[in-house]
Amino acid sequence: MGDSSTKKSMLSRLVPLLTSLARRGLAGWFIAIGLIMVIAIVAMTLLAPWLSPHNPSAIETGPPLSPPSSQFPLGTNKMGQDMLSRVISGGGIMIQVALLSVVICMAGGVPIGLLSSYSGGTLDRILCLIMDSIYAFPGLVLAIAIALMLGRGVVNMALSIAVVYVPSYFRVIRSQVLSIKEMAYVEAATATGAKGHTILSRYILPNVIPSIVVVATVNFADAILTAAGLTFIGLGVSVDIPDWGYDLTVGRGLLTTGVWWVIAFPGIMVVLLALGFTLMGEGLSELWNPRLEQ
Amino acid sequence: MNGDRIIRVEHLKKYFPVEKGFLERLLTRTRNYVKAVDDVSFSVLKGEVFTLAGESGCGKSTTGKLIVRLIPPTSGKIYFNETDITKLQKEQLRITRRRLQIIFQDPYASLNPRMKIGQSVGHPLEIHGIAKGSEKRKKVLEILERVGLVPPEQFMNLYPYQLSGGQRQRIAMARSLILRPEFIVADEPVSMIDVSLRTTIIDLMLDLRKELELTYLFITHDLAIAKYISDRVAVMYLGKIVEMGSKQEIFTNPTHPYTQALLSAIPVPTPERKKKTLELKGEVSSAINIPPGCRFNPRCSYSTDKCKKTEPELIETTKGHFVACYKAEA
Amino acid sequence: MIQKPQHLLTVEGLTAEYCAQRGRIIAVEDVSFSLDKGETLGVVGESGSGKSTLGLSLIHLVPYPGRIVKGTILLEGQNVLKLGKEKTRDLRGRRISYVFQDPMTSLNPVERIKDHFVELIRTHEPKVTKADAITRARKLFKDVGIQPERIDDYPHQLSGGMRQRVMIALALALDPSIVIADEPTTALDVIVQAKILDLLKSLQNRYGMALMLITHDLSIVLERSDKIIVMYAGRIVEQAPSSTLYTHTQHPYSQGLLKSIPNIELEEQKLTAIGGSPPDLLHPPIGCQFWPRCQYIMEICKIKEPPLFKTGIDHLVRCHLYAGETSG
């Protein structure tokens, strides 16, 4: 099958990458483990149609609210849907939302951050004010407010998360740019007659990228959790697609009746995915800014 | 070396405003300034090595950066080949930049860590649209060889972190030279390089001066190096030139008390020298609160009332030798 | 039998290394020397010479991932490296004190100067009262030439030169036998530098302590020390009294170093640099560490590392050119 051969070629590139990471010490391990976790979960979601034993949306696959058993290893929910299948297929929405929000965030936050800190002056002051105000808001509350305004849907969820996260990129980029601006190699570029946009794109941006990547991984993790939260309170997507967030909402209500398996397993998956990204972020951060200098 | 003045600086000043807290700004009217460069005038002759010497905070680096227009002057004028470049902007400034270059002190900070050597050195050619592709590569290889990095091909694809301080400084020089400038400001180019390697860089600079018809403004706190490389020297103190003259004059006949103290303080590599460091009271005053009169007077053993009241002018005592000191005038 | 008088400090076969991700670096290799009361020893070397690591080893303070692999450091007969934690802490500041390179970052910015002294003195002598500690500090200030009122200031209120004097005062507070000054003047201007060095000399005359000057500036050590150790790639390559080192420079590296520094008192000087690059401690050459840059190499230099040869009274050189002399 086409998929398994592409999988093989990806794996063959992956293994040397992982071994070289493992040799880089603890930071490398973090990145490697985080990477494996994320890839595993994403792969699982992509291969869901082939992996799930039952149709995750089909009601009354089994007796409703039955605890984990040999037939249904993760139990069934109120509508008799198989939880294992739902867990395997439920990541799609979250991953899409997280990915989209990170992309929107970077596309917006990075240029704004670069321009603001490089030009300085009034523009910088105004943008700082705006960004600090957004930053001061509790993220989830703001996301909820925006989601309420925009309505449901993957894109709208992504947008609301993105708006909340732009200030983080802005701050990180700004602090980096401010220090890089003073470096001799930027002065040297000015002295050779380079124009502002050249300096930004070839001298400043490449040196800021490591920080951007680190923020992006934390962004991913946060987006996943926020998406779960939004769905939790009903601002997610429609109910017929299997979604961890939805199961978390429903599962919470069922907890009081002793039905723990509907909330637990999707919950674990959300945590694992967020953790994978966080580990990568931590590892990359340690790798690029080692705490132990020789 | 002809007598043309390639650079002329007139009454150059650079004052940096001191940032104040919010409350202070409300309550006080006065603005405080760090007077980094406080009325400096001199000329540099074509083909010479003119040194600005002095301790840290005297304004020598700031002067260098002012001349290559990295920072705007507060007041005063800068002439390059008798053309006023003080107020040039944008395109005209960019074109002028080709002929005025600067080499920085820190070889570890003056190269973009994310650009390969070949890219760094070749970038000025791109910026000014002088050469592209294989033509550019040819010029880069040429200049790398000129600064002693052989074989040049080996260095093209390396990143700065793979090279030593001395090598990086040569690359910074290559980058400045690829545009064939006429005038180079060298801001403490060897102070962060191992002592035993400094002369290679200095000798390289002197060789290139002959080959490429360059003029240098050399900035240093190390008067021993100044003696080795300079034709003329200007000693700066707290933003002003206090003594200026040929190397010969300055080192054999230092007239200003500060210059004398400075020279006597330099360690000499001979054991058991019977030398006494000339007594100099106190410390350098802050550049924000410059003492009235001669700014050196609080530390000077010869200070008189006149010194405390009015600032002495830079006056020519013997041919080509200028001093700003009432004692020297006498 | 006449007993040889014991030196104040005897270092024997000191070797220290750093083990990091990129590999193993030998920072100090087989270093031996002695120091007597009232003596000034200059340790001179450039990047990769190991001089700073040597200094830190003497107070057993080599930072992780470095460690001392072997050797002994005898201070008045006691091996510094074998002292327990408590005794080592007691040693630092009291018997051997260390003046760090950068006065900007060596003082605690949120503590007043007087508190630095109080803390230092009372850590080692808990019975001393705060008031007594401050009195002692004021006296030290007089010795180092700072107005006693400045004792109430914070570090940022003092200039670089003053901060360095404070560091020296702190170094003397407990009357140590040895003061190690690591690049004491690099961050300072030349006039302040001269004053600080004069100060150290006069304090030495007054208190009789031994001084170890670690620096890359050969001029300073030639001018101000009694004897000099020249270090290269972690080894001692030459050791001699200052005047001997100046008149009979033997090791090619020392010669090269001397010829590369501009002497302000000479008229027309032809300076020469030492070719090549600083030593690559990750991939050291086989044989003599200096051979890649040496003008006088012989076949044996690339194969066998030379031991220290004794070429005169108190003059040691690590170079095969002097193999004819007695091995020291």
**Structure confidence by residue, pLDDT tens digits, B148-163:** 898 899 999 999 988 8
Query: What's the pLDDT at C20?
Result: 76
Q: Which position has the higher pLDDT, B18 or C228? A: C228
Round to whole Å and give the CA distance between B272 and B310.
41
Any chain C CB within 8 A of the CB of A24? yes
Q: Does B109 touch chain A (CB under 8 A)?
A: yes
Q: Which residue has the tokens 């003056």?
A: B110
**To probe the interface with B, which of C156, C261, C295 has the most B CB atoms within 10 Å?**
C261
User: Number of B:C CB contacts under 8 A?
Assistant: 122
Distance from CA of B178 to the nearest CA of A (A): 10
Q: What's the whole-number average pLDDT of chain C? A: 86
Which pair of structure tokens corresponds to residue B253?
Answer: 């006949």
Tell me if A185 and B111 make a contact (CB, 8 A cut-off): yes
Are A187 and B70 within 8 A, CB to CB?
Answer: yes
Q: Tell me whether B315 touches chain A (CB under 8 Å).
A: no
Whether B127 sits inside 8 A of A195 (CB atoms) is: yes
Question: Which among B155, B61, B152, B171 is positioned nearest to B111, based on CA atoms?
Answer: B171
Structure-token pair, residue A264: 């637990």
The helix or strand, by DSSP H or E, that contains position C43, with its residue range, turns out to be strand C40-44
User: What was the pLDDT predicted at C328?
Assistant: 45
Dihedral of the CA atoms C76, C82, C87, C93 (nearest 10)? 60
Using an 8 Å CB-CB cutoff, list chain B residues near A191: 68, 70, 97, 100-102
Task: Judge: B166–C277 Cβ closer than 8 Å, yes or no.
Answer: yes
Query: Is residue C313 pLDDT above 50, yes or no?
Result: yes
Residue B57 has pLDDT above 70, yes or no: yes
User: Over the stretch C193-243, which tens digit does the pLDDT of each residue have?
Assistant: 888 888 888 888 888 889 999 998 888 899 889 999 999 999 999 999 999
> Cα angle at A181 between A179 and A187, to 5 degrees?
135
**Contacting residues of C for A25, CB less than 8 Å apart:** 21
Q: Look at residue B8 and tell me whether its pLDDT is greater than 90.
A: yes
Phi, psi of B143 (to 5 degrees): -70, -30
- The two structure tokens encoding residue B193: 């390089």
Under an 8 A CB cutoff, do A189 and B123 touch?
A: yes
Name all chains with 3 or more CB-CB pairs below 8 Å to chain C: A, B
Structure tokens at B18: 């001191």
pLDDT band, very low/low/confident/very high, at B9 (cuts 50, 70, 90): very high
What burial letters (b/e) apply to A135-170, b meaning 16+ CB within 10 Å?
beeebbebbbebbeeeebebebbbbbbbbbbbbbbb
What pLDDT is stored for residue A6 in this prediction?
58
**Reported confidence tier of residue C16, pLDDT bands at 50, 70, 90:** very high
pLDDT score recorded for residue B259: 92
**C65: preceding bond cis by omega (within 30 degrees):** yes
Cβ proximity of B241 and B60 under 8 Å? no
User: Are C263 and B269 an interchain contact pair (Cβ–Cβ within 8 Å)?
Assistant: yes
Q: Determine the Cα–Cα distance for residues B112 and B236; give it in Å rounded to an integer.
A: 32
Neighbours of chain B (3+ CB pairs under 8 A): A, C
**In this complex, is the C-beta atom of B123 within 8 Å of any C-beta atom belonging to chain A?**
yes
Percent of chain B surpassing pLDDT 90: 50
- CA distance to partner chain C, nearest, from residue B266 (Å): 6
The Cα of B47 is separated from the nearest Cα of chain C by a number of Å equal to 20
Find the residue in A nearest to C66 (Cα).
A294
**In this predicted structure, what is the pLDDT of residue A256?**
86
pLDDT band at C252 (very low <50, low <70, confident <90, very high): very high
CB contact under 8 A, B114 and A207: yes
- Check residue B305 and give its pLDDT: 87
Q: Please write the tens of the pLDDT for every residue from C258-267.
A: 888 888 877 7
Give all strands of the β-sheet with C309-312 in edge-to-edge order.
C96-99, C178-182, C210-215, C40-44, C227-232, C235-241, C315-317, C309-312, C326-327
Residue A182 contacts B, CB cutoff 8 Å: no
Q: What is the phi-psi region of residue B149: left when phi exceeds 0, alpha when psi lies from -120 to 50, beta otherwise?
A: beta
Question: In what helix (H) or strand (E) does residue C120 lie, and over which residues does it extend?
Answer: helix C113-124
Task: Count Cβ–Cβ pairs < 8 Å, chain A vs chain B.
Answer: 62
Q: Is A195 on the interface with B (CB under 8 A)?
A: yes
A120 touching B, CB under 8 A? Answer: no
Instruction: Output the CA torsion B160→B165→B170→B176 (10° steps).
Output: 70
Q: Do B268 and C263 touch (CB under 8 A)?
A: yes
Peptide bond into B151 cis (omega under 30): yes
Confidence of residue B101 (pLDDT cuts 50, 70, 90): very high
Q: How is the beta sheet containing B49-53 ordered, strand by strand?
A: B100-103, B183-187, B215-220, B49-53, B232-237, B240-246, B321-323, B315-318
Q: B208 pLDDT exceeds 60?
A: yes
Phi and psi at residue C320, to the nearest 5°:
-65, -20
Inform me whether the pLDDT recorded for B2 exceeds 80.
Answer: no
Residue of A nearest to C18 (CA): A294
Contact C277 B167 (CB under 8 A): yes
Interchain CB contact of B169 with A (< 8 Å): no
Per-residue pLDDT of chain A (294 residues; tens, 9 = 90+): 445 555 566 666 667 777 776 666 777 788 888 888 988 988 888 888 888 888 888 887 788 888 888 888 888 888 888 888 888 888 888 888 888 989 999 898 899 999 898 888 888 899 999 999 988 888 788 888 888 888 877 888 888 888 888 998 899 999 989 988 888 899 889 888 888 888 888 898 888 888 888 888 888 888 888 888 888 777 777 667 888 888 888 888 888 888 888 888 888 888 888 888 888 888 887 776 654 333
8 Å CB contact of B202 and C193: no
Nearest alpha carbon to residue B47 among B6, B8, B104 = B6
- A29 shares contact with chain C (CB less than 8 Å): no
Q: Is the pLDDT of residue B277 over 50?
A: yes
Q: What is the pLDDT of residue C36?
A: 92
∠ CA(C50), CA(C54), CA(C59), 5° rounding?
150
Name the minimum distance, in Å, from the CA of A271 to any CA of chain B. 36
Q: Is A188 on the interface with B (CB under 8 A)?
A: yes
B 213-252 residues inside an 8 A Cβ radius of C:
221-225, 227-228, 251
Chains that touch A (3 or more CB pairs under 8 A): B, C
* Per-residue pLDDT tens digits for C149-204: 888 888 888 877 788 888 888 888 888 899 999 887 776 778 878 888 888 888 88
DSSP state of B272: T
Torsional sign, CA C294, C299, C305, C308: negative
> pLDDT tens digits, residue range B82-91?
899 998 888 8
Q: Taking CB atoms and an 8 Å cutoff, what residues of chain C touch B221?
A: 189-190
B contacts of A183 (beta carbons < 8 Å): 109
- B-chain residues near A207 (CB < 8 A): 112-114
From chain A, the residues in CB contact with C64 under 8 A are 292
- B270 or B103, greater pLDDT: B103
C252-260 and B195-212 helices, crossing angle to 10°: 50
Residue C1: pLDDT above 70?
no
Residue of A151 and B125 predicted with greater confidence = B125
d(CA B268, CA A59): 93
By C-alpha distance, the chain B residue nearest A209 is B114
The alpha carbon of residue C156 is apart from the nearest alpha carbon of chain B, in Å, by 14
